[in-house]
Structure 1
Amino acid sequence: MGDVTYYRTNDGVRYLDELQDEAYARSTLHGNSMLEAESRLPVRDVQAAPTEAGSDTAAVNKQRISLSGAWRMIDCDPAFPGDPAPATGWFGRKATNSPGMAERWYEPGYDRSGWHEVQVPTTVQRALVTLGELEDPLWDTNTIDELDTHGEPKELPVWFRRTRAERRDWWFAKTFEVPSAWQGQRLTLRFDGIDYSGTVFLNGMSLGHHKGMFGGPEHDVTNLILFGSVNELVVRIDPAPQSWNGLLKGSPGFGWHYGHLISMGIWKDVWLSAELLISIIDPYVVTRNIEAEEARLLVQYTINSQLAQPIKVLVTGEIDRKGAGTDEEALRFRNVMEIGCGPSVWRTEVAVPSPALWWPLGYGDPSLYTMTLELSRLAEEEQDDREQPVMQERLDAAELSFGIRTIEMRPLSVSAPEADYRWQFVINGVPMFVKGANWCWPDPMLEQQEAKYERLLELARRANVQMLRAWGGGIIEPDFFYRICDEKGIMVYQEFPFCWGPMDAPYTDLSVIDTQVTQTVKRLRNHPSLIMWGGGNENGPHGGADEGLFLAGRRCRQFDPSRPFHRTDPWGGSVHNWNVYHGGEPLDASTRAMPSVMVGEYGIPSMTNRSSILKYMPEEALGEFPPTEESRGWKAHFHQFSLKDPIKVMRYGAYGPIRNWDDYIAYSQTSQGESIRYTAEMQRAGAGETASGFWYYKFTDLFPGHSWAVVDYYGTPKLSYYRAMQTSRPQSVFAFYEKMNGWHAGETFTASLHIANDTLEPLQQAKARAVLYDSRFKKLWSQEYDGITIEANRLTALDSISVKLPAASEIEPFLLAVSLHAQQGKLIAGQWYWFNAQPKTEELLAFEQAHTHNDNEYPGELAVQAFERYANLPSSPMRQLPLTQLIGTMEQQETGGTIKVRNIGPYPAIRVIIEGFPEDWDCYLADNDFGLYPGEERVIGFEAGSGQSMAGLTLGGWNTARITLAQS
């Protein structure tokens, strides 16, 4: 589809998109010569003609056998390569074979009765935990104990060592039989995923060594399969790689992040297929354009023939809207062509009348279609001028799901030609400000539960996450992840998992990259939720060799020209702000000092809820505060097993003395929410002019513990989840201001007020309210706004605040409340901001300023001092506000209900939090952690499974008593 692209040229002004494409077009860089030849196949246009409904001819019987299920597994020492040349074999240590290879465990008839029975797909670690051979790596001190006691090499820090399981060869074996009816057909053995490398044997014959966890290997085994007797399939999995650099593999488990677990095994399904002589493969649908009455689609597919002679074939297409619930007739078309031996690529254009478009979250329904392509041989006497071709034999069929939508990327006015990408996302012709988050895969042992993905992605939808950056430290997500995102209207930026690595690393293998990238692009390119490809996370400037990222980009643009490819992130106009947290710089000043059209990563970690802690730590551990070097269980769930993690957070969460885990949980989750909000609203204030969006870091977790996720490993939202939800509402009122703390008496407080309408519907006759309160809830400034009308998809400046601040005692703290209401008074969105809320002493501020960037580490006694300083903070100003009173009731129906809360006191209620809400995966709370004006009532909806107990729910604020909700 050489004439398909995602950008328009701008009067000769070129951006990084063009420069990349020009370089890809000049290059012949490849790692797989067959894929390079495929990329150069001509695309032949064929006219689409209308056709009648298909006949009742029997469907093609695609034959395949699942080889997943029961396998056997055992381990052994790996081969020893010997000393490097020239010592090997002469005067150094000689290479030795592994016991498995020396004893020929792959031979037919080998006695494997003593091997463990396991269920494939699995990782080695998951299988060992299930067998009781490995202590749960997620629990308490198990991982750190293993690395401390048995990890190698000893000279490395404990988190970078390799466990015993990671240093072993792992052998898997399975026996199976093949139907005799398959004799004479071409047979293919397919692995959907081996992690990360290994050798496959079938009936004693090696099929070769494979690398790459995202598909393959695939082997023609026609001449190796036995009929009438048992076949033996054996796979030897190599020890885990020593480095992630240059490998397409999730990297946090290598030790640089938190947790430690390098997955390995047969983690995807295994199949044996009987191949067809003529097949239709690699269907690809692109929306060329959308007009008032129709959408024009380009439909591309490949026909692969094993026949020596050319034949005439018919491809019949049928397009149906999914779940339309109407009498809409399917759209049908046909192509007639003559094909020769080998692959041929064909393209046809189809017009869809009155299309239902796929819209991202907040802009409309994410409508989906299915397309079926049936390949048939035409009768010998068929003539080209017949109205309806005569089908002789149905050969093959392909089916796919897709959405009708266009992607265009435009530059912003601040974008630098040639240096920056186009960063404005334009979907279906509508420019969008993207409110998003980073996504991390949800299980280190790769147990891909669709129910867990559904839970997490539904939480993302409810949190108004329009786009997920499938982070380049993670994995390439499975098909069902994309299917769920398609259905929920969640856009995805999928990075290939190159992370933090020089691409000229010695482990880089272009043949692996070429194969893995190409098959991934073909697998995912029809998903409308997939908006952009990326080469990975934080890979830095071009070095002496950039082949891996370049090749990934070249293949993405060749096999999926409808989407942008970004070399890495940050790159070409985006930034990651880790001067906050890692650098220890103030949140507000550091954020304002790093303006960017797109902020790709930012945030602060926080601790999980108490209920989640008890799933990975014993209850008595909650009495250990502050943690010390002897607190091994806690350290096992911190970044790099270090105490520096919570200390770095406390400088941003110093809302009062931090003397126990409950204090730390509350304040760390508060600071995390505030960090997400501040950057998000700075970006949103510049929407369409200086900014196109944000992805906060991050939404999900792959290991339980202290982390950047707003939803923890168990699928439980933190309080920061709700702050992110409120910040990202499609229609919202918000404030932006210079700083959070450090305001002084007599200083002029300024803030700008904005209303965003990120929808396709105008906001008409709305109302807004803004109130600035002092520490006794005296109004320093207030304003009400009526008759607000904002066009669809617009941001408007509502007002600006400029107030001279009173005496210090009256502004410790002071607060700003803003709210947006529909014409009838219903709340659309609201935000409560607090200033001077952290009671830091001059001594503590000096300590923090002395420990930034490289000095923001806390070894030994320095950690003890840091914890003491935050434990001895003055009382929390936010908890000394004048008290008010709440009343609340709960009404429960079969699968949900409402919580009604009213502030009946004379003062605002600050940080009203519902506690005790069930954490089951079918339970969702519509909002939490909000403020209430005096006399204001809120009704919070919830969903819960049938029969779910809601007993014990409580409600309270930082300046109210906590009450138990009565059920009405």
Structure 2
Amino acid sequence: MGNPLILHQKRGSFMSTLSYYRPVDGKRYLDEVQDEAYASSSLHGDALIEAESRIPRRTAIVEPASGAMPAHRAERLCLSGAWRMIDCDPADPGDPAPNTGWFGRRAKASPGMIEKWYAPGFDRSAWHEVQVPTTVQKALVELGLLEDPLWNTNTIDELEAHGEPKERPLWFRRTRVERRDWWFAKTFETPPAWRGKRLTLRFDGLDYSGTVFFNGASLGHHKGMFGGPDLDITGLIRYDGPNELVMRIDQAPESWNGLLKGSPGFGWHYGHLISMGIWRDVWVQAEPDVAIVDPYVATASIEGGAAKLRIAFAADSRSADRATVVVEGDIRRKGAPADAASALRFRSAVEASYGRNEFEADVELPDPALWWPVGYGDPALYTLTLAVRDAEDAAEAVDAIAVDFGVRTIELRPFADTAPETEYRWQFVVNGVPMFIKGANWCWPDPMLEQNEALYERLLELARRGNVQMLRAWGGGLVEGDFFYRMCDEKGIMVYQEFPLCWGPPDSPHTDLGVLDRQVTRSVKRLRSHPSLVMWGGGNENGPHGGADEGLFLVGRRCRRFDPSRPYHRTDPWGGSVHNWHVYHFGEPMDAATLAMPSVMYGEYGIPSMPNRDSCLRYVPEEALASWPPTEDSRGLLAHSHQFSLKDVIKVMRYGAYGPIRDWDDYIAYSQTAQGETLRFTAEIQRAGAGVTKSGFWYYKFTDLFPGHSWGIIDYYGTPKLSYYRAMQACRPRSAFATYAKMNGWAAGETFEAGIHAANETRETLDGASVSATLYGSDLIELWSNRYEGLTLAPNAVVSVDRVAIALAEDERIRPFLLAVALRAADGSLVADQWYWFNAQAKSEELLAFEGRHTGNAENEYPGEQAAEAFDLYASLPDAPMRRLPEARLEWSLERSADGTAGEIRIRNVGAVPAVRVTIEGFPDDDWGSYLGDNDLGLYPGEARGIPFQTRRECPLDGISVGAWNAPRI
């Protein structure tokens, strides 16, 4: 890379010189409105953080450096591993209300405090040995002391028998585990070489609150699960014997409202488990005299073949005297060897006073490899290493720190119809390229907070292969961890990270601004250099406010102060985006309800579905799936449904009535079909307006937190549903697709209208392309066809190819009818296709009347006899139109590479009519090393399609079969 071009930054605030938006003459959008409010406010929760935020950043004048970076070895001791754990009754805070007398009910300490379980030398040999990091629930399951809460009826049994308070609905009660205090203890030795050094005890994650004791001394009470506390134990450490660390975890919080804590486990969703424990690592660290902390790398600009990097860092000094120290920097491609000639080296001599010293510098990186999101190029990564010497000639560094980053700019621009003052800029621009966002909502994958890196790798690889460009880390979940962000960096998946403040009134009395301030600031500093992170959000579905918006306002103030390179959105939906739950929750038609709610950005939409049968059998026994319909006595299935009820299944049948639903296999197939069609319809409505009035979508959702009937297109076990492949097809970077007004209810004599569109959301031109569109009747004979030749699709373009209007034929030929749209390259090879079906549901007048009576939020709940009536009506559907199409005939073969890890399933339609909904079954997609390139597709007569796959060598493939809705399975 050569030596850097040194840029001496002009004096000014960090925010004023680094921003994600540009002013627009005469207009002021919600972005500016927020920033002006943050700049003029002094609202804070933690005085120390507020003081730190006001420390002026000094310019570090950098110059070229040569030679190797100074050696450094961090002095850290990881305390993860074997700990001891026990429980006890929680403290009773008493009840000094006047109606109980002057003293009321006296407060009572917990047994652990009365007996001083934290005292040095206390006998803890009878406590359970557990492996930290862990949650209490995970540890108890592993010890055999708690029935797996994810299996069958275990959770619902516990809540029925022991859940409190009894007056609450079952799903909102608290289990015995959640109503106890839990104590953890660890004994460890300190390295003798650390004598005389300042030592810090660091917790990466305590869930959710508790008190830390060290060698018998209380170090205070902590709240917040995303890091902290950091505690000075220098005066308490022992070098002549064991040190005793004891942590008391409080009973689970009563409510998630106002807390930075994932909310689904509290019972509103489709499971119940409120996590608690030590869920991330614990460390003891010997601190240097001068420590380099909080590195931050942002790309200020990319122009003229070079990137201007803005680098910020802090130096924490213990010296009472102002001293000059030398900070050295090294930038190289991630994974490059230490002697890489391409490394960029620089140095700066800075003056550090006692306490915190903030610095910033601009460094020019020549010929950078850029970080690109999915579909646009490789996600190149770099590593910045900063080391500090306390003297020019010192052989070793006093301290060093490394951070990965990418050369990537993020900008948001307004559309022509963006409303000033009240709406955000919504057009995402990455590295100067405007992008339409094809994304999904993400929920953390394990209620017991196991940080299973193999599972994260599996899920994020499925996202990449599923053409997901951006994940909305949904504001009912977690602030995700380092491994998640490293994987997103490497796979080119952008992330909108919301803080888990969910459905709370903005001025929630439960919100502790001090906790919020500390947790948000820590999280922003930890994650802000990741190129995959492109936007912050305050939380999920928080309502309007009347001026008392302290919590979300403080989150925004900290995000914009400590990370000015990215946007912050107060919540979602907000400032132009929408969430559409009129579909499903209100029972409104998917197509009409979507078209009635146009939006620049769809933040949430979708319906749930049932996992595959094999996945179901991992959480309920075989007999649970043997009977249909489910009833209030189907307790195992109810335990894995929304609020332990039947209403979810009934709500979905409205959209999945492709034929009589008479067993669980019917329901699994039709619910996954309906889910896929729902996701595709809205995605393509949005995509048709890309770059003009629409910026994208995040369908709800990609992953599941609990096993069961839910919204994820990947189930809890990491297995794709059929809806995953429909979403994958809808998100292809290059595609031809159709938009239309309705899926059902077409009659003879009506005019079928559809928009035909082509997309090339890449950085390369597609020359000589063609688009074909064919309308088939129920006899699978063409009603209409057209081919659009010689198309040139510019980079990053979505174009309207045609608007067709076709008079529909006689009634018997349109029940159902189909539309196939395909994009082909200049050589005629298929790039992508989409198959649509209309009038595919044959609902009786009685069923339509029943659905009409149950449209609306309050009416769509199905208590008691209404549930039984619903199941009877859907079981007695008179027809399955898609199942009686003329028969096609399929042949297939399998080719596997010599090492067995890859291959192709080649399918040919040798019949005279199209094969509709061709599906591959029996592929081992429940194996985390196995990936199928496509599924649930259409084949023209005579067409052959090769479906690539990847798998582990030892995975058998002899169970594969191929069939279609109009072709027998072979």
Superposed pair shares fold, TM > 0.5: yes
Q: What does residue 509 of structure 2 align with? A: 506
| Contact 1:499 1:537 (C-alpha < 8 Å) held by counterparts | yes
SS of alignment partner, residue 721 of structure 1: helix
| Contact 2:506 2:543 (C-alpha < 8 Å) held by counterparts | no
Shift of 1:328: 5.3
Write the letter of the residue equivalent to 1:320.
R
**How far apart, in 1, do the equivalents of 2:74 and 2:587 lie?**
59
Write the letter of the residue equivalent to 2:908.
R
Write the letter of the residue equivalent to 1:262.
I
Which of 895, 909, 919 matches 2:915?
A: 909
Q: Among all aligned residue pairs of Structure 1 and Structure 2, give the percentage whose two residues are the same amino acid.
A: 67
SS of alignment partner, residue 398 of structure 2: strand
Shift of 1:392: 6.7
Q: What does residue 851 of structure 1 align with? A: 854
1:97-154 deviations in Å (ceiling 9; x for gaps): 1111111111111111111110111000000000011000110000100001100000
| Contact 1:378 1:393 (C-alpha < 8 Å) held by counterparts | no
Q: What does residue 165 of structure 1 align with? A: 177
Query: Aligned pair count?
Result: 951
Write the letter of the residue equivalent to 1:27.
S
| Contact 2:580 2:594 (C-alpha < 8 Å) held by counterparts | yes
1:642-661 alignment, distance < 5 Å: 642-661=645-664
| Contact 1:502 1:543 (C-alpha < 8 Å) held by counterparts | no
Q: What does residue 958 of structure 2 align with? A: 951
Which of 10, 16, 19 matches 1:5?
A: 19
SS of alignment partner, residue 271 of structure 2: coil
Q: What does residue 537 of structure 1 align with? A: 540
| Contact 1:278 1:304 (C-alpha < 8 Å) held by counterparts | yes
User: Bigger CA drift: 71-80 or 320-329?
Assistant: 320-329
1:937-948 alignment, distance < 5 Å: 937-948=944-955
RMSD value, Cα: 1.2
Shift of 1:327: 6.8
**How far apart, in 2, do the equivalents of 1:117 and 1:285 lie?**
42
**How far apart, in 1, do the equivalents of 2:541 and 2:160 lie?**
30
Write the letter of the residue equivalent to 1:287.
T
| Contact 1:314 1:391 (C-alpha < 8 Å) held by counterparts | no
- TM-score, normalised to structure 2, is 0.97
SS of alignment partner, residue 681 of structure 1: helix
SS of alignment partner, residue 51 of structure 2: helix
**How far apart, in 2, do the equivalents of 1:226 and 1:913 lie?**
65
SS of alignment partner, residue 153 of structure 1: coil
1:327-369 deviations in Å (ceiling 9; x for gaps): 7511111111222211111111111111100011101110000
Q: What does residue 34 of structure 1 align with? A: 48
Mapped pair 1:890 → 2:894: yes
Q: What does residue 114 of structure 1 align with? A: 126
Shift of 1:637: 0.6
Q: What does residue 942 of structure 2 align with? A: 935
**How far apart, in 1, do the equivalents of 2:347 and 2:78 lie?**
33
| Contact 2:72 2:396 (C-alpha < 8 Å) held by counterparts | no
Mapped pair 1:764 → 2:770: no
Q: What does residue 872 of structure 2 align with? A: 868
SS of alignment partner, residue 293 of structure 2: strand
Write the letter of the residue equivalent to 1:645.
D
| Contact 1:71 1:119 (C-alpha < 8 Å) held by counterparts | yes
| Contact 1:87 1:93 (C-alpha < 8 Å) held by counterparts | no
**How far apart, in 1, do the equivalents of 2:101 and 2:247 lie?**
29
Shift of 1:204: 1.0
**How far apart, in 2, do the equivalents of 1:601 and 1:89 lie?**
52
SS of alignment partner, residue 772 of structure 2: strand
1:323-338 alignment, distance < 5 Å: 329-338=342-351
**How far apart, in 1, do the equivalents of 2:557 and 2:351 lie?**
31
SS of alignment partner, residue 616 of structure 1: coil
**How far apart, in 2, do the equivalents of 1:392 and 1:432 lie?**
48
1:338-417 alignment, distance < 5 Å: 338-379=351-392, 390-391=393-394, 394-417=397-420
Q: What does residue 315 of structure 2 align with? A: 303
Mapped pair 1:291 → 2:297: no
**How far apart, in 1, do the equivalents of 2:43 and 2:804 lie?**
57
User: Bigger CA drift: 725-734 or 340-349?
Assistant: 340-349
User: Bigger CA drift: 41-50 or 547-556?
Assistant: 41-50
Mapped pair 1:134 → 2:140: no
| Contact 1:683 1:693 (C-alpha < 8 Å) held by counterparts | yes
User: Bigger CA drift: 318-327 or 589-598?
Assistant: 318-327
**CA distance 1:270–1:88, change in 2 (3 Å):** farther
Shift of 1:323: 5.0
1:771-786 alignment, distance < 5 Å: 771-786=774-789
Specify every segment of 5 or more residues in structure 1 that has no aligned partner in the other structure, as ranges.
Answer: 380-389, 964-968
Which of 169, 183, 186 matches 1:174?
A: 186
Which of 23, 28, 41 matches 1:14?
A: 28
Shift of 1:899: 0.4
Shift of 1:85: 3.4
| Contact 2:781 2:913 (C-alpha < 8 Å) held by counterparts | no
Shift of 1:94: 1.8
Q: What does residue 314 of structure 1 align with? A: 326
**How far apart, in 1, do the equivalents of 2:216 and 2:713 lie?**
50
Which of 725, 729, 733 matches 2:736?
A: 733
Shift of 1:654: 0.4
**How far apart, in 2, do the equivalents of 1:529 and 1:152 lie?**
42
Q: What does residue 687 of structure 1 align with? A: 690
**How far apart, in 2, do the equivalents of 1:122 and 1:782 lie?**
60
| Contact 1:249 1:475 (C-alpha < 8 Å) held by counterparts | yes
1:248-273 deviations in Å (ceiling 9; x for gaps): 00000000011000000011111111
Shift of 1:93: 2.1
1:430-469 alignment, distance < 5 Å: 430-469=433-472
Mapped pair 1:43 → 2:49: no
Q: What does residue 966 of structure 1 align with? A: none
**How far apart, in 2, do the equivalents of 1:652 and 1:904 lie?**
32
| Contact 2:374 2:464 (C-alpha < 8 Å) held by counterparts | yes
Write the letter of the residue equivalent to 1:19.
V
| Contact 1:534 1:567 (C-alpha < 8 Å) held by counterparts | yes
**How far apart, in 2, do the equivalents of 1:787 and 1:491 lie?**
34
1:661-697 deviations in Å (ceiling 9; x for gaps): 0000000000000000000000000001110000000
User: Bigger CA drift: 346-355 or 515-524?
Assistant: 346-355
**How far apart, in 2, do the equivalents of 1:324 and 1:829 lie?**
37
Shift of 1:302: 0.7
| Contact 2:714 2:720 (C-alpha < 8 Å) held by counterparts | yes
Write the letter of the residue equivalent to 1:292.
G
SS of alignment partner, residue 556 of structure 2: helix
| Contact 1:120 1:269 (C-alpha < 8 Å) held by counterparts | yes
**How far apart, in 1, do the equivalents of 2:161 and 2:832 lie?**
53
Write the letter of the residue equivalent to 1:917.
F
SS of alignment partner, residue 408 of structure 1: strand
Shift of 1:393: 5.6
Q: What does residue 386 of structure 1 align with? A: none
**CA distance 1:884–1:166, change in 2 (3 Å):** same
